[in-house]
Amino acid sequence: MADALPDRLSLDPRSPYFDEEVLGKGVGIRFNGAEKTNVEEYCVSEGWIRVAAGRSRDRYGNPMTIKLSGQVEPYIQIPGEPGAPGEAGEPGGNGAPGGGGGAASAG
């Protein structure tokens, strides 16, 4: 399958699981059947996502995250669908995990 998504993907450019090419396509996340818009990282095989814990930051300025366990379903967003990356009014709009839920920007 040409549009197969990786088992694990991260927004953090320092992570070994960061893949700019895949993120540029626009990745959405369904977690336990609900769209998630604040996903920082996910792993399908282990069944977890990391989401930002409010506006809290660690001592290096990175968002504090919480690991949630459940069913993870990543998908490529189709332009024109509600929540697609780059859509007007979309926070982030960068096609990150959680993408269409667009996650917070990776920078």
* 29-76 tens-digit pLDDT: 999 999 998 999 999 999 999 999 999 999 999 999 999 999 999 999
Number of domain units in the chain? 1
Residue 65 lies in a domain: yes
pTM greater than the 0.75 cutoff: no
Residue 66 lies in a domain: yes
pLDDT band at 92 (very low <50, low <70, confident <90, very high): very low
pLDDT band at 87 (very low <50, low <70, confident <90, very high): very low
Separation of alpha carbons 88 and 93, rounded Å:
8
Residue 87 lies in a domain: no
* Residue 54: domain span: 8-76
Residue 84 lies in a domain: no
Separation of alpha carbons 99 and 101, rounded Å:
4
Residue 88 lies in a domain: no
Residue 49 lies in a domain: yes
What count of Cα atoms within 13 Å lies in the side-chain half-sphere of residue 101? Answer: 17
Residue 3 lies in a domain: no
